[in-house]
Every structure is written in structure tokens, then in C-alpha cells.
């Protein structure tokens, strides 16, 4: 560490100069923080302030910069000195100190103490940081593998090709086009959204086939996938059994959906009379009619009346039904009713619905249907029975008129849903030794929700990852990581799910979705080539490495990585696939022997901050509370609290962490050992509706902290001294309250006896 040269810069702007003794802070940075020098500045983020720091870096050889000013979330552009051998740490004196404290004479001393500690902490942190360098082994491949040749897959391929990337589409069937190719017409995607339109699938297939950048392999499957973003390797095996191996930079999984099996709906007449059909089967009937009147399957009579039953086997808790809404079926029924109305306005068409869902501009399509005379009846079908002499009788409850009604129709169309084709359940529960039956049943129930009706029989990708051959499922078998926050981001970096395998959607949405997934794939492979993270720590050059001689091959890191980024070698040592890594540090938090670290984020960079804090003695009435706060939610919540003038205890010292999953329990036990009176961990919402950027990080932290009770008992400390909370970014009032509650608790149970 001989070549470390710390320059500490203390800002006096934004009221810092009035509220704090900045000269004292400068002195602390030099004496205790071992800064080569410390400088005060009236307005550090100004052009002059920034120029001053730049000059020190260039002329004085400063390579570790401490910015003691505002929160690390503010002025990131001005203070972007990192890279090129320079590391930066930020002491949060504005949001973290003066705005979090009242401007009163009696608060002045403790406020100053807070600021002094944050300066100490920043100096300690930066001393242990290494400026991150991109992985010298970073490489990439600009070819994209698209799995599935339906509308989603073809759109992805065309978009990638347009952007200049080579694409290979692997389609398991003998033709491109998927389910959309079986449609007579599609729901419109442009104004005036009034009539069904050509599907456009033929034209799309032609474009794909004509594109020199796109290779199409039909009747083929992926039998093996390995590697990482930038260097995926996949075996493509054709029906004839021939396999070839190809390399790709990123993968788009557009494996689509499986239509719901309507034979599970005998109560709705399916299978009892050929005059009850699914939407997909109606498309075929209409195609057969070739523009003429549609004929009734049972006897070939011209259809004069049709009833569409929405939500058939969907949005229902019944066994074997889909609990979710497939999203496309309402507008599909409107479209199909128009097939009849456009052909002959005198045909009665009734759509039996409970909630008509017409996403986007398709409300206009709904209106158009109404104008064409399609009758929309709000009701729930209870039973469909074959009628004497053909057709069927639909029994339903009219929800507006609150009565049981029956209506006869020549044809009944069931709007059944879509099931994702997302491969096997990689988290399939197996009864572990010592696991109670109850816990095992719970795990099975979770798996049932996770997989839905997805058959899960055959793998799509056959990943050679430690964590299993397919993408993890979020819910009901859909391969996603978070429907709202991170669309396309599966939990396997560089592999993007798109179209109905990700969530139920129609053609318009699938095409839009595929564009997004393609951009993500391009982003992933390009970043992989530069050795940078693609998501969510975009551009992060740091990546985890481990000290081989200390590793006990315990496999915790490989098991707990939420992204399957770590494989094991033959000797069971971890193999970090840096381009699969999201840089959350969950591995670092998992490691019992603390051999995993990032260049600029390690057990030491945080551990030394904790140690740097000045711990007053037991009789000072100045307890110390350590907060380890997730940098994505809890830390900004506390910043915002201060911005909103919400004050909190002066005895708290807050350390942002990449994810609560990166918290190594050693930090907590070290803190308690060195005299902290309480420790609070603030992470994101975990569990089913998790909000964690790293999916499992917060959950892992809660799990690990659940076991810290033993350590506390050994130290003969009260278990309440360590609290783990889920804090959302909106918890701007609650987060400070949790801190204050810890202060009150300490007042009640007394100071820690571990002060020196």
C-alpha cells in the first residue's frame, strides 16, 4: 500500500461550513485518516473545486480521493474521478449529517462528532479500495442466439440484424411463425384500431429468410448451453440427431407458450360437442370458410349465433385452471366476433366477460366491436351443454341483471389462456434430510405456484450451470426476474426471456417486448467485451475474486449466488464467471472464511469503516449504532428523509452496502465486539413480492442474521441489539424512526459492555 496517496476534500457549501467545524474535519482526515493532505473548499462541486482535485490527481499523484460533502448519490458527475488508478470514497456530511440533525446549539457537538466519524470512515474505506480494472480476459462474440422462431423470436432476430449483429434462430418445429402463423387475422396494431388486420407473419418469415445476417435452424433444439455473456457455447441438435456447437455473445429465449388444454374444461362443453371450440380452433374454422359463412362443425350448418366465453379455465383458483389473466384473449374474441359481423351483420355474437381487458389503444377496438353490433354481456358461464339438434346452450349468471340465464348458440368459443414454455423447474424441491413434512409441503406448494401449469418436462436451454438447466421461474412458470422493475432481466445474465415465455401477451406486446430484449442482449454482449456489468450496476468494472489458499471449498458462494454466476472446478473451488456476475456481493456475504472480495468493495473496505468510528466510553451516554443500508433503497430513503427535514439520532453511523446479501456476519460481530451498542440492517422487501435488485440478497441476509443469535449469546449480548428490516425507498419516515427506536432500546437495555 506504499503507493496509496489520499487527498481529502472537505466542502463548506450547502451550509456545511456554518454547521460544522471543517478545519477540525481536515485535521482528522490528515492525522487519523492518514490523508497526505486535506483541503477545505467553499463550493467543492463547482468548476473550480473539481479542477483543484483534478490538478492534485495529475500533479500531486493523489490516487485515493475522499470527498467529504454531500451524499454519494448527489453530484456523481462532478466527482467522477474513479478509474485510471484513482478510487473515490464519499463522506456524506450533508444528507447524512447536517440535514439529518437540528441546527441548535445543543446538537452542535454530536453533529460535529457524526461528521468526524464519517470523515474517518471515508478515509479508511478509500485506503482499502483498489481502483477496479476491467478483466483482462474479457471477450465477446457478436452473434446472438434466438431460441424460438415465433413472432417474438423473429422480431428479435430482425431487430438484432438491423443493428448489425449476426443471429441464429433455433426453432424446434419445421416452420417459422409459431402460433401466430395459424391465425386468420390479428388484432390491429395501428389506428383506427377498428378492424382485424393481416397477421403479417408471412412477410416477417420472408424478411427473416432473406436477411443475410440471420441463420435459421428448423427442427432443432438446444441440447447444451455453457459459458457466459460474450462467450456462450451452445449445442444445436437437429431432429436427425446431428449436433453442432456454436458460440454466441448473448441469448434471447423466445420459446413462447403452450395453449391451455381445453379438455380440462368438460363443464364448458369442450369435448362433448364439436360445436364448442377454442379460439385457436375457430381461427382454423374461419380459414376453412375462406371468406364465406363459417360452418358449424357438428353438421355443417351455417353459424348464425356465436357465444364467446371469456376467461375459460383462467383467472380461477380451481385445480387445473390458470390463476392469471392471459391478457390477449379479450381482444382476440372481439376480433373473432368481427369475423362473423364483417361477413354477415345479422349473425348474433355475444361476448360473455367479467372484466374486459383491452390493453393499449385496443379500447378503440372494443368500441369498434360495439359499433359493429357485437353484444357484450357481463356474466360468468357456469355450464355449456350440447343442444338438441346441434350447437350448445350456455348457462351463465348475468352479473349486471343478477340472474341465471341460458342462451343457445350454433357455436361456442372458449377463450383459453397461455402457459409459458419455459423448461424445467430448476428449484424443484427434494425432501432434504431432517426436513419436516410440513416444510416440505410448503416447498412443494411454492413450486406449484412457481411453475403453474408449465409441464416442466423438457429443458429449453440445457444450461450447464451449477444451478440447473433452465431459467429460474418467477411465477406460474414464467421466466422473468421482476415483471415491473427489470423486464427481460432473467436471473441468468446475458440470457433474456421475451414474449409469452416471460409473461402472457399478445402479438403487439410480444413484438415490442422482443425489441427490448434484443437491446438488452446487445448491451450484455457489448459490456461483456469491455469487462463491465450490464445490469443493474451498469458499467461497474469491479468483479469478485477469491483467495484460493484460504478457500475451504464449502460451496456456499456457488449455491447462494442468485444469478448462477459461479461454477465449481473439479476440485470444487469456485469459478467466477465475471460476465454473468451482477456485482451484488452475495458471495462475499456468504463466505465464512472471507476470501471473496471486489477491488473496491470488500470485507475490509466496510470492516475498516466500522473500525474507524470513534467509540466513546460506556459512561459517555453516547451510544453508537451501526446501520448497514442497501444502496438502492434504504440509503436513498435516509437521504430523502434528511432532504425532507426529518431528523434522527446523532449516534448512528450509516454504511451503504451494495446489497444486504453482501453483508458478511463478521461485520456485525466485529462491530459488537468493538463496542457498538446496536446494529441495524436495512434491505429490500424479500420473498414472493421481492423488491431486491439482486432477487435473493435481502432474503439471504435475513436468513443469515436469523442465525446470529448464537454469536450474540456467546458475547452475552441481548439479541435485540441486532435488527434486520425490510425498508422500501418510500420509507422516508419509517427508516429514521427505526434508527430512533434503536436508540431508545439502547437507553432501555443499557450500553454495550464491550467499550474500550
Where on the chain is the footprint of another protein (CB under 8 A)? 356, 366-367, 370-371, 373, 375-378, 398, 400-401, 405
- Report the C-alpha gap between 279 and 351 in whole angstroms: 12
CB nearer to another protein: pick between 356 and 447: 356
Going by C-alpha positions, the residue among 543, 483, 464, 511 that lies closest to residue 133 is: 543
Smallest gap, in angstroms, from Cβ of residue 199 to another protein? 27
E-strand stretches of 310-347: none
Smallest gap, in angstroms, from Cβ of residue 327 to another protein? 18
CB nearer to another protein: pick between 225 and 349: 349
Smallest gap, in angstroms, from Cβ of residue 288 to another protein? 28
Smallest gap, in angstroms, from Cβ of residue 306 to another protein? 15
Smallest gap, in angstroms, from Cβ of residue 378 to another protein? 5
CB nearer to another protein: pick between 374 and 700: 374
How large is the greatest C-alpha to C-alpha distance in the chain, in angstroms? Answer: 98
Smallest gap, in angstroms, from Cβ of residue 334 to another protein? 12
- Report the C-alpha gap between 143 and 240 in whole angstroms: 25
CB nearer to another protein: pick between 287 and 315: 315
CB nearer to another protein: pick between 371 and 737: 371
Smallest gap, in angstroms, from Cβ of residue 347 to another protein? 12
Smallest gap, in angstroms, from Cβ of residue 324 to another protein? 23
CB nearer to another protein: pick between 400 and 484: 400
CB nearer to another protein: pick between 213 and 397: 397
CB nearer to another protein: pick between 405 and 719: 405
E-strand stretches of 79-156: 87-92, 143-147
Q: Which three cell numbers stand for residue 513?
A: 417486448
CB nearer to another protein: pick between 381 and 615: 381
**Those residues with Cβ within 8 angstroms of residue 375's Cβ, 6 or more apart along the chain or in another chain:** 348, 349, 350, 351
CB nearer to another protein: pick between 63 and 368: 368
Query: Are the beta carbons of 653 and 625 closer than 8 angstroms?
Result: yes
Handedness of CA 275, 279, 281, 284 (dihedral sign): positive
CB nearer to another protein: pick between 165 and 366: 366
Which residue blocks in 531-643 are alpha helix, DSSP H? Answer: 556-560, 586-590, 603-612, 634-643
SS3 assignment, position 534: coil
Smallest gap, in angstroms, from Cβ of residue 396 to another protein? 11
- Report the C-alpha gap between 64 and 57 in whole angstroms: 9
SS3 assignment, position 743: helix
SS3 assignment, position 281: helix
- Report the C-alpha gap between 200 and 205 in whole angstroms: 9
Going by C-alpha positions, the residue among 131, 279, 212 that lies closest to residue 598 is: 131
Handedness of CA 663, 669, 670, 672 (dihedral sign): positive
**Those residues with Cβ within 8 angstroms of residue 624's Cβ, 6 or more apart along the chain or in another chain:** 613, 615, 616, 651, 653, 675, 676, 677
CB nearer to another protein: pick between 40 and 398: 398
CB nearer to another protein: pick between 353 and 598: 353
The DSSP symbol for 293 reads: P
Smallest gap, in angstroms, from Cβ of residue 382 to another protein? 17
Sheet containing 305-309: order of strands: 276-278, 411-414, 305-309, 348-353, 375-386, 392-398, 403-409
- Report the C-alpha gap between 366 and 383 in whole angstroms: 26
Q: Which three cell numbers stand for residue 207?
A: 424478411
CB nearer to another protein: pick between 402 and 437: 402
Smallest gap, in angstroms, from Cβ of residue 432 to another protein? 51
Query: Are the beta carbons of 545 and 557 closer than 8 angstroms?
Result: no
- Report the C-alpha gap between 338 and 274 in whole angstroms: 22
Handedness of CA 486, 488, 490, 492 (dihedral sign): negative
CB nearer to another protein: pick between 398 and 618: 398
Sheet containing 232-238: order of strands: 220-226, 232-238, 243-248
Smallest gap, in angstroms, from Cβ of residue 411 to another protein? 18
Smallest gap, in angstroms, from Cβ of residue 401 to another protein? 6
Smallest gap, in angstroms, from Cβ of residue 348 to another protein? 8
Smallest gap, in angstroms, from Cβ of residue 353 to another protein? 9
Q: How far is the CA of 601 from the CAs of 126, 586, 655, in angstroms?
A: 10, 12, 12
- Report the C-alpha gap between 232 and 225 in whole angstroms: 7
Amino acid at each position: 500500500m506504499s503507493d496509496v496517496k489520499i487527498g481529502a476534500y472537505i466542502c463548506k457549501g450547502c451550509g456545511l461550513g456554518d454547521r460544522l467545524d471543517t478545519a477540525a474535519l481536515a485535521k482528522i482526515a490528515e492525522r487519523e485518516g492518514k490523508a497526505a493532505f486535506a483541503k477545505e473548499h467553499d463550493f467543492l462541486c463547482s468548476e473550480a473545486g473539481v479542477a483543484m482535485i483534478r490538478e492534485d490527481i495529475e500533479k500531486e499523484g493523489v490516487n485515493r480521493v475522499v470527498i467529504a460533502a454531500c451524499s454519494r448519490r448527489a453530484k456523481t458527475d462532478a466527482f467522477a474521478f474513479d478509474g485510471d488508478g484513482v478510487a473515490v470514497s464519499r463522506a456524506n456530511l450533508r444528507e447524512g449529517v447536517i440535514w439529518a440533525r437540528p441546527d441548535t446549539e445543543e446538537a452542535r457537538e454530536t453533529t460535529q462528532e457524526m461528521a468526524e466519524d464519517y470523515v474517518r470512515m471515508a478515509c479508511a474505506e478509500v485506503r482499502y479500495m483498489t481502483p477496479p480494472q476491467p478483466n483482462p480476459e474479457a471477450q465477446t462474440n457478436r452473434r446472438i442466439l434466438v431460441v424460438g422462431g415465433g413472432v417474438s423470436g423473429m422480431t428479435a432476430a430482425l431487430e438484432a440484424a438491423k443493428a448489425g449483429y449476426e443471429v441464429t434462430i433455433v426453432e424446434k418445429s419445421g416452420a417459422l411463425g409459431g402460433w401466430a402463423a395459424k391465425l386468420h387475422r390479428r388484432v390491429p396494431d395501428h389506428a383506427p384500431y377498428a378492424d382485424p388486420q393481416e397477421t403479417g407473419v408471412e412477410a416477417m418469415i420472408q424478411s427473416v429468410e432473406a436477411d443475410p445476417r440471420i441463420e435459421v435452424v428448423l427442427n432443432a433444439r438446444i441440447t447444451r448451453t455453457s459459458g457466459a455473456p460474450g462467450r456462450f457455447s451452445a449445442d444445436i441438435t437437429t431432429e436427425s440427431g446431428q449436433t453442432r456447437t456454436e458460440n454466441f455473445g448473448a441469448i434471447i429465449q423466445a420459446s413462447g407458450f403452450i395453449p391451455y388444454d381445453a379438455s380440462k374444461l368438460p363443464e364448458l362443453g369442450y369435448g362433448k360437442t364439436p360445436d364448442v371450440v377454442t379460439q385457436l380452433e375457430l381461427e382454423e374454422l374461419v380459414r376453412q370458410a375462406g371468406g364465406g359463412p363459417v360452418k358449424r362443425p357438428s353438421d355443417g350448418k351455417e353459424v348464425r349465433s356465436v357465444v364467446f366465453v371469456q376467461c375459460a379455465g383462467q383467472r380461477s383458483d380451481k385445480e387445473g385452471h390458470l390463476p392469471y389473466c392471459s391478457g390477449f384473449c379479450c381482444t382476440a374474441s372481439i376480433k373473432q366476433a368481427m369475423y362473423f359481423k364483417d361477413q354477415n351483420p345479422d349473425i348474433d355474437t355475444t361476448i360473455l366477460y367479467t372484466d374486459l381487458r383491452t390493453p393499449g389503444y385496443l379500447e378503440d377496438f372494443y368500441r369498434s366491436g360495439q359499433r359493429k353490433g357485437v353484444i357484450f354481456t357481463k356474466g360468468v358461464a357456469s355450464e355449456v351443454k350440447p343442444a338438441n339438434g346441434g350447437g350448445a346452450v350456455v348457462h351463465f349468471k348475468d352479473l349486471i341483471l343478477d340472474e341465471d340465464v341460458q342462451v343457445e348458440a350454433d357455436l361456442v368459443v372458449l377463450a383459453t389462456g397461455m402457459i409459458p414454455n419455459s423448461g424445467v423447474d430448476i428449484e424443484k424441491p427434494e425432501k432434504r434430510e431432517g426436513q419436516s413434512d410440513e416444510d416440505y409441503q410448503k416447498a412443494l406448494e411454492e413450486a406449484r405456484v412457481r411453475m403453474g401449469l408449465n409441464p416442466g418436462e423438457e429443458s429449453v436451454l440445457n444450461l450447464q450451470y451449477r444451478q440447473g438447466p433452465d431459467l429460474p421461474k418467477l411465477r406460474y412458470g414464467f421466466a422473468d426476474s421482476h415483471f415491473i422493475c427489470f423486464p427481460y432481466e432473467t436471473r441468468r445474465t446475458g440470457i433474456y426471456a421475451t414474449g409469452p415465455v416471460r409473461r402472457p401477451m399478445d402479438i403487439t406486446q410480444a413484438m415490442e417486448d422482443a425489441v427490448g430484449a434484443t437491446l438488452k442482449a446487445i448491451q450484455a454482449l457489448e459490456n461483456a467485451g469491455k469487462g463491465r456489468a450490464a445490469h443493474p450496476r451498469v458499467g461497474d468494472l469491479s468483479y469478485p475474486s477469491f483467495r484460493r489458499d484460504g478457500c475451504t471449498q464449502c460451496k456456499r458462494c456457488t449455491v447462494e449466488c442468485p444469478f448462477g454466476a459461479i461454477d465449481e472446478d473439479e476440485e470444487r473451488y469456485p469459478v467466477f464467471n465475471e460476465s454473468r456476475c451482477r456485482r451484488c456481493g452475495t458471495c462475499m456475504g456468504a463466505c465464512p472464511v472471507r476470501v471473496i472480495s471486489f477491488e473496491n468493495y470488500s470485507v475490509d473496505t466496510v470492516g475498516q469503516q466500522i473500525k474507524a468510528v470513534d467509540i466513546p466510553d460506556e459512561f459517555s451516554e453516547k451510544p453508537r449504532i451501526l446501520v448497514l443500508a442497501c444502496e438502492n433503497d434504504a440509503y436513498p430513503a435516509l437521504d430523502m428523509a434528511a432532504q425532507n427535514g426529518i431528523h434522527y439520532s446523532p449516534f448512528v453511523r450509516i454504511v451503504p452496502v451494495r446489497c444486504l446479501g453482501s453483508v458478511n456476519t463478521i461485520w456485525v460481530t466485529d462491530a459488537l465486539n468493538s463496542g457498538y451498542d446496536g446494529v441495524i440492517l436495512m434491505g429490500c422487501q424479500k420473498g414472493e413480492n421481492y423488491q431486491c435488485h439482486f432477487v435473493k440478497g435481502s432474503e439471504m441476509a435475513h436468513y443469515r442474521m436469523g442465525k446470529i443469535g448464537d454469536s450474540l449469546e456467546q458475547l452475552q449480548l441481548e439479541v435485540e441489539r441486532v435488527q434486520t428490516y425490510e425498508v422500501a425507498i418510500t420509507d422516508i419516515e419509517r427508516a429514521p424512526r427505526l434508527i430512533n427506536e434503536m436508540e431508545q432500546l439502547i437507553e432501555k437495555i443499557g450500553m454495550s459492555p464491550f467499550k474500550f
